A and B are shown apart, each in its own frame.
Chain A
Amino acid sequence: MEISAELPQHLVNGLVLGSIYALVALGYTMVYGILELINFAHGEITMMGAMVALAVITALVGEGSTVPGFVIVLVGLGVAVVICMALGFVIERVAYRPLRRAPRLAALITAIGISIIFQAAALLIWSSKPIKFPKILPEAQFELAGATISALQLAIVLLSFLLMAALWVLVQRTRIGRAMRATAQSPELAGLMGINPNYVISITFVLGAALAAVAGVMVAAYDTQADTYMGSLLGLKAFTAAVLGGIGNIAGAMVGGIVLGVVESLGAGYIGGLTGGFLGSHYKDVFAFFVLILVLVFRPTGLLGERVAERA
C-alpha cells in the first residue's frame, strides 16, 4: 500500500479535527484532574454553544446588516461563550458540589442525568432539525505541500492553538493557575495553604465550558450545520482523546486530541486499502477507538501519563 499523494491533505484534515477534539478534551481533563469526575454533560455544553451561537448568527444575518461575516460569527461566539460559562458554573454549583463527599458513582450518574437534561432541553428549544451555518465566512483556499487548505481550516487550527497556548500560560504562569495546579494535586492541602478550592473548581468548570463553546462553533462552521444530537459522539471522542493523552494532564489533552484527529482522518482515508476492502471508511470511528484500546493496553496511563488528585 503506497503512501499516496493525498497524505498531506489527510494530515491537514486530521489536524483540524484534532484541534477541535483537543479544545473539548481540555474541559474533561481539567475537571477529572481535580474532582476525579467524568463530566458527561461536557459534550452537551459543546452542543449548546454551537446552537446558541447559530441562533444568534442566524438572527443577525436575518437583520440584513452590512457587518462583515466574521464579526457576526465573533458576536455569536461571544454570546455562546458567556452562556456556556454560566451553564458550566451552574452545573457545578447545583449538581456536583452537593455530591463532593458522596461516593463517586453518585456524581457520575448525576453527570449522565445532566447530559440527558441538556439534550432534552435543546430538543424542546430547537427540535431535532439541523440549523444551517449561514454562508458568511470567506471561502478562500490555498495550496500548501500538496494539500488544499481552506481559510476556515486555517482559522480553526490557529484559534485552537492560540487558546491552548493561552490556557497553558494561565495554568503555568499565573497565580490562579498555580492555585488550579495545587488544587488538582490535593484539594485539602491546597485549602490549608489558603486557596479556596470551591472557587478554583468553579473556575475550572467555567474555563472548560468556554473552550467547549468555541469548539462547538468551530464544529458548526466546519460541518456547516449543527443539531441537538452532535454533542454525544463529539463528547465521547473528546473524552477518549483526554484518556489517550493521559487523563488529568492538560498537555495530554492537547496531544491526545491532535493524535485522535489525525488517526481518525488517516484511518478513514486508508482503512479500505489496509484491509483490502473488508472494512470501509464508515469504520473510521471504530478505527479511532481501536487505536485508543491499543495505546491503553501498552501504556495504561495514556501517552503523557495521567495526573489525578491524591485523595489523602
Chain B
Amino acid sequence: MTVSRVFQGSTLNIAAAITVAFAALLGACGRTSVCDKPDVVCIGSVAPLTGPQAHLGRDNDNGVRLAVEELNAQGVSIGGKIVRLEVLSEDDQADPKTGTIVAQKLVDAKVKGVIGHLNSGTSIPASKIYSDNNIVQISPSATAVKYTAQGLKTAFRVMTNDSRQGKVLGEFAVTKLGAKKAAIIDDRTSYGQGLADEVEKAIKASGGEVVAREYTTDREKEFRSILTSIKGKNPDVIFYGGMDPQGGPMVKQMRSLGIKAQFLGGDGMQSAEFIKLGEADAEGTVASSPGVPPDNMPGGKAFVEKFTKKYGQIQIYAPYAYDATMTLVDAMKRADSSDPVKYRDVLAGIQRDGVTSPISFDEKGDIKAAAITMYRVKNGKWEILSIVGDTTPKDKK
C-alpha cells in the first residue's frame, strides 16, 4: 500500500483524527504529574478565591503558602528523605456544590492532605469525599458542629466549634453587654444557622429573651425589611450569624434605619473587611474570634510580622491556615510518612504550639484549646475586649 493511499480519506475524517490525537496529547498533560514524583508531597488548599469572600479565601491560601515556604526553606525530611511540599490551590466559591467538585479534583490529583475548606457549608460535604479516599483534612475555619460530629476519622479543625463559640457569645451578650432582649439574624448556611442556633440557646440559658429571629441568604445585600421588623421589637442587641460581606452593609442599613442596638457577630465578621464595608457605622460592634490574640502565643507576633510583610494585612483565618499546615506536616514528620493512613493517628494524638493556640485534638477531631477572644471596633480598629477560657499555660509567653 502506497503512502498516498494511507492518507487518502475525506477532510472530515482527517480533521477528526487530528482532533482525537490532540485531545489525547492534552489529556496526557495532567497536573498529577507533579504529585506523582517520589520526593514531592502535594497539599491541597481550598477556599473561595473568587466572589464576595475572595479576600478571606486568599488570606487562607496565603497562610498555607507561607507555612509551606518556610518548611521548604528549612528542609522537610520524611522517611529519611528530603521532600518538597507543593500547594494545589482550588477555588470552591463558598458554594457547597463546587466544594464537592474541587474535593474530587484534589483526590484525583493524589494530594496527601487538605487544608480546607474555609466555609462550613463546603467543608461538610467535601469531608465525606476526603474520608472515603482516606485523605486527612484540617479546616482552618469551618466551625459548624456537624463537621466533626459526623464521626469521620479524617476531619480535623484548628478552630473551636460553634457550640463553644455560640455559648460564649450568648453568655457574653447577656452578662457583659447587659442585653435583656436580643434579635438574631442568620444567613441560612451551615455556619450561620448553626452559630445562630447556639447563640439563641445560650442567650435563653443566661436569662435573656430572643424577641426576633430573621433570616437572609449569603448572597443578599438588602436587609432593610428584616431590620425594620426587628426595629419594632426593640432589641438591645442584634446578632448576625454570617460573614463580613453581609455584616458590613447590614450594620450600615441598621444605622440608616435609626436602630441603635448593639451589633454582635461571630468569627466570620471579625475582619478588617467588615470595618471597611461598615465604615463609621461599624464602630462599637462586638465580634468573637476563637483562639487567643497573636501576642499571647509564642511565635504569634513573629507570624504577624512575617505575614504582613509578605501578603499585607491579615483578614481573619490566615494564622489558622498556617497552624493547620504546620500541624499537618509536623504529623507527617513524626510519623515518618506522608501517607494519610499512616500519619492520621499521629495527627490525632499530636501536641504542639501553634500561633493561635496550643494544638491538640479530641476524639472527634475538634481542637481541645477552647479560648475565645472577644473584640470590639474602637476608632476604626478591632480592639481586644476580653479573653474567655484561656487555657494557655501562663509560663509559655
Interface residues in chain A, defined as those with a beta carbon under 8 Å from any beta carbon in chain B? 4-6, 9-10, 13, 17, 127-130, 132, 135, 139, 141, 143, 148, 150, 152, 222-225, 227, 229-230, 264-270, 272, 277, 280-282, 284
Contact = CB atoms under 8 A, between A and B. Distances in A.
B216 A281 contact: yes
Nearest to A223: B221
Interface in B158-202: 188
A300 B317 CA distance: 53
Query: Residue among B228, B252, B256, B280 with the most chain A CB within 10 A?
Result: B228
B216 A150 contact: no
Interface residues of B, number: 33
Contact of B258 (A10, A141, A269): A141
A13 B229 contact: no
A130 B52 contact: yes
B187 to A, nearest CB: 8
Given A13-B224, A281-B214, A129 B54 contact: yes
Contact of B52 (A143, A222, A227, A269): A227
A156 B251 CA distance: 21
4 nearest A-B pairs in the assembled complex, by CB-CB distance = A268-B225, A280-B215, A282-B215, A6-B232
A17 B226 CA distance: 14
A17 B222 contact: yes
B63 interface: no
Contacts of B55: 129
A7 B276 CA distance: 32
Interface in B252-270: 252, 256-258
Query: Residue among B219, B226, B280 with the most chain A CB within 10 A?
Result: B226
A110 to B, nearest CB: 28
B233 to A, nearest CB: 9
Contacts of A264: 225
A269 B228 contact: yes
B17 to A, nearest CB: 32
A269 B229 contact: yes
A215 to B, nearest CB: 14
Contact of A282 (B217, B221, B252, B258): B217
30 contacts: A4-B232, A6-B229, A6-B231, A9-B257, A10-B228, A10-B229, A127-B50, A128-B50, A128-B52, A129-B51, A130-B245, A132-B276, A135-B280, A139-B256, A148-B256, A152-B256, A223-B221, A224-B248, A225-B221, A227-B52, A229-B219, A264-B225, A265-B224, A269-B226, A270-B229, A272-B229, A280-B213, A280-B215, A281-B214, A282-B216
A269 B215 CA distance: 11
A171 to B, nearest CB: 30
Given A222-B222, A223-B221, A282-B188, A128 B256 contact: no
B277 interface: yes
A141 B256 contact: yes
Contact of A284 (B221, B225, B256): B225
Nearest to B276: A132
B252 A224 contact: yes
B380 interface: no
Contacts of B50: 127-129
A222 B256 CA distance: 11
A222 B258 CA distance: 16
Given A269-B225, A280-B214, A281-B229, 16 more contacts: A6-B229, A6-B232, A17-B222, A128-B54, A129-B55, A130-B52, A130-B245, A132-B276, A148-B257, A224-B249, A225-B277, A229-B219, A272-B214, A277-B213, A280-B213, A284-B225
Interface of B: 50-52, 54-55, 188, 213-217, 219-222, 224-226, 228-229, 231-232, 245, 248-249, 252, 256-258, 276-277, 279-280
Query: Residue among A13, A127, A230, A268 with the most chain B CB within 10 A?
Result: A268
B240 to A, nearest CB: 13
Nearest to B273: A132
B321 to A, nearest CB: 20
Given A128-B54, A129-B54, A6 B256 contact: no
Contacts of B217: 282
B276 to A, nearest CB: 7
Given A132-B277, A141-B256, A227-B52, A268 B226 contact: yes
Contacts of B277: 132, 224-225
A13 B54 CA distance: 30
A137 B52 CA distance: 24
Contacts of A265: 224-225
A223 B253 CA distance: 9
A45 to B, nearest CB: 19
A140 to B, nearest CB: 10
Contacts of A17: 222
Given A127-B50, A272-B229, A225 B249 contact: yes
A13 B245 contact: no
Given A128-B50, A281-B214, A282-B215, A223 B231 contact: no
B194 to A, nearest CB: 16
A229 B345 CA distance: 44
Contacts of A227: 52
Nearest to A14: B225
A269 B257 CA distance: 14
Contact of B222 (A10, A223, A280): A223
B358 to A, nearest CB: 36
Nearest to B51: A128
Nearest to B232: A6
Contacts of A141: 256, 258
Given A150-B256, A272-B214, A281 B226 contact: yes
Contacts of B245: 130
Contacts of A132: 276-277
Contacts of A5: 232
B305 to A, nearest CB: 27
Nearest to A264: B225
Contacts of A127: 50
A266 B225 CA distance: 7
A282 B214 CA distance: 8
Given A128-B54, A129-B52, A223-B249, A281 B256 contact: no
Contacts of B222: 17, 222-223
A135 B52 contact: no
B242 to A, nearest CB: 11
Query: Residue among B52, B225, B229, B245 with the most chain A CB within 10 A?
Result: B225
